Structure 1
């Protein structure tokens, strides 16, 4: 790994040098690509936005499924991809799962894309 890259057990990039500061290693590129690929789907990007902007910063899966003209298993698949990329976490409460954006997910991504000040 290159720079200060740390990968958590879910495979999400914890912190890293900006892409313009030094060439990215193959391993780092693969991890970043997985996160950006998860966000690259319009449904997943909307899900991420819906969760992040929902009251209290978390949303029940029951609040998310009615927004889309997709089946519940398809929504669950998209949520799984976001979860595996380290962008969201889920907590079961009774019958429902409540999702929230990982607290530092957007900060990690913006740090990767930030141009270092000179």
Structure 2
């Protein structure tokens, strides 16, 4: 973002991901998912970390999934979540601002 314009075809996806991360619960869920050992975590391990209902956790996970930040895979009666590294790298690249602003000619 600091070095080149965001392509118009990417703006919608990126904005939706940033919007999803704008909620404190979703930001914490995303952190737990992205830092999980082995790269994935069961919803059964996410839910106890919060003092909100299971359906509310499910709603937040759906928002993360719909925004493309995570994928979900059902195994028997549990769902496992995995961060989408490619989208996270794109978000990170947008926020990577050099110490010195680029020189414009």
**TM-score class, shorter:** 0.7 to 0.9
TM-score by length of 2: 0.82
* Aligned-partner Cα distance in 2 for 1:71–1:23: 38
Q: Does 1:108 align with 2:90?
A: yes
Q: Does 1:96 align with 2:78?
A: yes
Structure number with the higher helix fraction is 2
Q: Quote the residue 1:45 is aligned against.
A: 27
* Aligned-partner Cα distance in 2 for 1:95–1:67: 19
* Aligned-partner Cα distance in 2 for 1:103–1:30: 18
TM-score by length of 1: 0.74
Q: Deviations over 1:47-94 (max 9, x none)?
A: 000111111111100000000001111000000000011100000000
- The two structures, once aligned, show a CA RMSD in angstroms of 2.1
Q: Does 1:64 align with 2:46?
A: yes
Q: Quote the residue 2:36 is aligned against.
A: 54
Q: How many residues align?
A: 100
Point out where structure 2 has 5 or more consecutive residues left out of the alignment: none
Which runs of structure 1 show a deviation greater than 6 angstroms over 4 or more consecutive aligned residues? Answer: none
Larger Rg belongs to: 2
Q: Deviations over 1:14-65 (max 9, x none)?
A: xxxx36523664x644432211110010000000001111111111000000
